């Protein structure tokens, strides 16, 4: 080997590695590019200041970000969770009903309790899926009713709330900067879940189980435990979604969580998670959650009737999913 | 602790019971239905001193069950192919709106337009699922949310609502005071579906596509045609259900059929059709619809709050599917 070849070869390896990285993550990169491309248009429509608008965008996107992450974890593990929306609704009413008169310290403890509870709720769903061997979609469809029913029991009509300091915290900014705390919250949760799924053994086994259950079993992974674990993580994230809903909407509403079932599925599909399992991450879905929220924000800022905005968003989701379907088909054949 | 032989004997009995259940889901469902009727009757006697099981009440049960039965029929066809239609309640509501909106223009055209609306929305679902290969769950959820948005826009606008006489008598009246008129629609449709699924080529293809798409493609079935027709039929049946509801309620509103969305799935699942497709039939679904209707009556008699109903629905879906899954796994 001559000395001149080495740097050249290293360069080649570097380029190849970049290409590989881009091929693997093309979809995620595209999602964030779309989001960035939407920003100038948004600025041309909006009349408010960027920092104010951005803060509202993040606050508006907060519940959906958590819902999308929750759905992504389960779908990557090879399942699907239709009860995401109603579990978020349940945690929303639970927190709003009992937190309303608490001091900040107690409220924060209660938030932790809620996260544990929703983690247990997710674990229950996972255990039912694993022990009964009923398809995930049926179990979670059933749990959709169950959690919605429990939410109605907790709070029949919208009401409740959270301590003012908690609102101020979630809706405020870091010190004197214009970085919203909500963004920090998303980043921290996202970072901790993403790193643990990507780098820790139990997290990686979620990918293994999702891409090929038998192969995962044969390579010594505890499939049932991993699937239950994915549902438990999903539950915790739903709990966060519920808390986010309470602190951004100022109230508990048993029906408020409903939209997050469809929207979380839409966000993960747009975010590059394959419904067949084992493919995708948490970065794309969060980007997609921001895009979906931004579409709605832009439509509302342009003065579109909210009902029309819902229709346009729905049509956009359908069209994107159709194109995704076509691309996936082309990729397969 | 029981001895080993007892355990084995017990397992044998359980196995036989499972086998029986797997072979005769309809028998089991009839038993459940009768048991529910008896319980409701006892509770009603206890609460108000009146029996629940009277000819009048049974005919009311049929009358109320018919819209659910038709929606569940549509859901059934789609679920046999391994799909699901979560836009079904909005299709029904949309059809009811179209019919009430066109009511002035004449009964025939109003009804045909309503059915046409259902078929067109079904076609959109079908094209998404069959041609673009979108997951049915996402496609129909998306179409449902678009429809709901459109409906809320039009519901806000004032327009003259005329319900054709035929539709309102279909929804409410009874022959001789006992036989619901809507059976004139439901019974022939049910017979056509049960016989069609069993004896028609298309019916068999629905099962084949749901059971094994690759094998049916290799056998020459044009899967996309089968799927599109399935979703169109589902839209048509949903539109019929929507019209019965329109006649029954007497006024179209946004939430007309929404409470029937998940029960339509539940009725099919309880009736023994696999959510994965390829297995089941409409006979069980009819019983599933009746069971859910009687269950709702029971909860009403008990004065059960809404949340109990929701939790019960959810648990029932899981429990019934678990039983069927066990039974079919033991083959």
| Per-residue pLDDT tens over the stretch A48-68 | 788 888 888 999 899 999 999
Mutant choice from B87, B125, B134 vs A, greatest count of A C-beta within 10 A: B134
Q: What is the pLDDT at residue B4? A: 61
Using the Cβ of A276 and the Cβ atoms of chain B, whether some distance falls under 8 Å is answered with: no
Residue B8: band (very low, low, confident or very high) from pLDDT cuts 50, 70, 90 = low
| Per-residue pLDDT tens over the stretch A81-94 | 989 999 999 999 99
| Per-residue pLDDT tens over the stretch A110-120 | 999 999 999 99
**Domain locations in chain B as residue ranges:** 84-256, 262-325
CA distance A32 to A71: 19
Lowest-confidence region among A56-60, B177-181, B192-196: B177-181
Residue B331: band (very low, low, confident or very high) from pLDDT cuts 50, 70, 90 = very low
A129 interaction partners in chain B (CB closer than 8 Å): none
Q: What is the pLDDT at residue A285? A: 93
CA distance B70 to B185: 9
A155 interaction partners in chain B (CB closer than 8 Å): none
Q: What is the pLDDT at residue A153? A: 93
Pick the more confident residue, B278 or B116: B116
CB A60 within 8 A of CB A293: yes
Assess whether pLDDT exceeds 80 at residue A6. no
Lowest-confidence region among A42-46, A179-183, A237-241, B9-13: B9-13
Arithmetic mean of pLDDT, B32-52? 85
Q: Per this entry, what is the length of chain A?
A: 333
Arithmetic mean of pLDDT, B217-238? 93
Using the Cβ of A327 and the Cβ atoms of chain B, whether some distance falls under 8 Å is answered with: no
User: What is the share, in percent, of chain A residues with pLDDT greater than 70?
Assistant: 95
Assess whether pLDDT exceeds 90 at residue B190. yes
Q: What is the pLDDT at residue B330? A: 47
Assess whether pLDDT exceeds 90 at residue A127. yes
Question: Of B142, B152, B314, which has the smallest distance from its Cβ to A321's Cβ?
Answer: B142
- What sections of chain A are H helices per DSSP? 5-45, 50-76, 84-99, 104-132, 136-154, 164-171, 181-199, 201-211, 213-218, 223-249, 259-270, 283-301, 306-332
| Per-residue pLDDT tens over the stretch B280-318 | 889 989 999 998 899 888 888 877 788 888 888 788 778
CB A328 within 8 A of CB B133: yes
| Per-residue pLDDT tens over the stretch A158-193 | 888 888 888 888 888 877 777 888 888 889 998 888
Residue A329: band (very low, low, confident or very high) from pLDDT cuts 50, 70, 90 = low
DSSP designation for A157 = S
Q: What is the pLDDT at residue A1? A: 47
CB A41 within 8 A of CB A298: yes
A141 interaction partners in chain B (CB closer than 8 Å): 262, 265, 314, 317
**Number of C-beta neighbours around residue B290 at 10 A:** 25
Using the Cβ of A150 and the Cβ atoms of chain B, whether some distance falls under 8 Å is answered with: yes
Q: What is the pLDDT at residue B138? A: 80
| Per-residue pLDDT tens over the stretch B236-285 | 999 999 999 998 888 888 888 888 887 898 889 888 888 778 888 899 89
Using the Cβ of A148 and the Cβ atoms of chain B, whether some distance falls under 8 Å is answered with: yes
Which residue on chain B is closest to A313 by alpha carbon?
A: B146
- Stated as kind and residue range, the H or E segment containing B174 is strand B174-175
Question: Of A149, A310, A314, which has the smallest distance from its Cβ to B308's Cβ?
Answer: A149
Assess whether pLDDT exceeds 70 at residue A2. no
Cβ within 8 Å, pair A308-B153: yes
**Domain locations in chain A as residue ranges:** 49-332
ipTM of this complex prediction, to 2 decimal places: 0.77
Domain A49-332 has CATH 3.40.50: no
Instruction: Give the distance from residue B148's alpha carbon to the nearest chain A alpha carbon, in angstroms.
Output: 8
């Amino acid at each position: 080997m001559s000395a001149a070849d080495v740097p050249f070869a290293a360069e080649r390896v570097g380029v190849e590695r970049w290409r590989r990285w881009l091929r693997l993550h093309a979809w995620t990169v595209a999602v964030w590019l779309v989001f960035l491309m939407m920003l100038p248009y948004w600025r041309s429509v909006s009349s408010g200041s960027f920092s104010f608008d951005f803060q509202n965008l993040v606050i508006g996107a907060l519940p959906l970000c958590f819902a999308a992450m929750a759905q992504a974890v389960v779908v990557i593990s090879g399942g699907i969770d239709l009860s995401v929306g109603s579990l978020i609704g349940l945690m929303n009413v639970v927190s709003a009903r009992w937190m309303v008169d608490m001091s900040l310290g107690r409220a924060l403890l209660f938030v932790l309790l809620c996260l544990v509870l929703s983690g247990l709720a997710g674990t229950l769903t996972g255990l039912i899926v694993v022990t009964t061997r009923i398809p995930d979609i049926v179990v979670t469809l059933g749990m959709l009713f169950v959690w919605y029913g429990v939410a109605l029991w907790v709070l029949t009509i919208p009401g409740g709330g959270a301590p003012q300091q908690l609102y101020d915290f979630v809706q405020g900014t870091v010190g004197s900067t214009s970085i919203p705390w909500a963004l920090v919250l998303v980043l921290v949760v996202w970072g901790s879940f993403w790193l643990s799924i990507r780098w820790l053994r139990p997290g990686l086994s979620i990918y293994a189980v999702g891409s090929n259950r038998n192969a995962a079993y044969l390579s010594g992974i505890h499939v049932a435990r991993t699937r239950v674990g994915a549902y438990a993580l999903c539950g915790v994230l739903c709990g966060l979604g519920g808390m986010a809903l309470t602190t951004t909407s100022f109230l508990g509403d048993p029906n408020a969580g409903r939209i997050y079932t469809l929207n979380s599925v839409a966000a993960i599909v747009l975010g590059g998670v394959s419904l067949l399992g084992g493919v995708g991450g948490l970065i794309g879905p969060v980007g997609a959650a921001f895009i979906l929220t931004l579409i709605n924000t832009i439509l509302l800022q342009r003065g579109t009737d909210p009902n029309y905005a819902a229709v346009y968003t729905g049509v956009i989701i359908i069209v994107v999913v159709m194109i995704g379907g076509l691309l996936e088909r082309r990729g397969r054949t | 602790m029981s001895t080993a032989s007892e355990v084995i004997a017990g397992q044998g009995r359980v196995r036989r019971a499972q086998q029986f259940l797997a072979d005769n889901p309809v028998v089991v469902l009839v038993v459940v239905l009768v048991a529910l009727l008896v319980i409701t009757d006892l509770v009603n006697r206890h609460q108000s001193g009146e029996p629940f099981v009277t000819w009048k009440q049974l005919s009311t049960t049929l009358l109320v069950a018919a819209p659910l039965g038709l929606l569940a029929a549509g859901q059934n066809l789609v679920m046999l192919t391994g799909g699901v239609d979560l836009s079904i309640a909005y299709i029904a509501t949309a059809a009811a709106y179209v019919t009430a909106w066109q009511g002035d223009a004449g009964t025939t055209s109003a009804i045909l337009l309503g059915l046409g609306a259902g078929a067109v929305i079904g076609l959109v679902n079908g094209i998404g699922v069959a041609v673009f290969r979108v997951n049915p769950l996402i496609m129909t959820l998306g179409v449902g949310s678009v429809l709901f948005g459109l409906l809320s826009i039009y519901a806000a606008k004032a327009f003259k609502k005329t319900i054709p006489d035929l539709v309102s008598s279909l929804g409410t009246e009874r022959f001789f005071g006992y036989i619901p008129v809507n059976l004139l629609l439901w019974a022939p449709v049910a017979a056509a579906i049960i016989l069609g699924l069993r004896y028609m080529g298309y019916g068999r293809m629905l099962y084949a596509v749901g059971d094994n798409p690759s094998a049916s493609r290799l056998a020459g079935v044009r899967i996309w045609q089968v799927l599109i027709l399935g979703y169109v039929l589902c839209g048509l049946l949903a539109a019929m259900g929507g019209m019965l509801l329109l006649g029954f309620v007497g006024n179209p509103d946004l939430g007309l059929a929404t409470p029937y969305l998940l029960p339509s799935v539940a009725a099919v699942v309880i009736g023994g059709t696999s959510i994965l497709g390829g297995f089941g039939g409409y006979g069980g679904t009819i019983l599933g619809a009746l069971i859910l209707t009687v269950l709702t009556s029971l909860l009403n008699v008990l004065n059960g709050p809404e949340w109990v109903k929701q939790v019960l629905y959810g648990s029932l879906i899981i429990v019934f599917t678990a039983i069927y899954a066990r039974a079919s796994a033991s083959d």
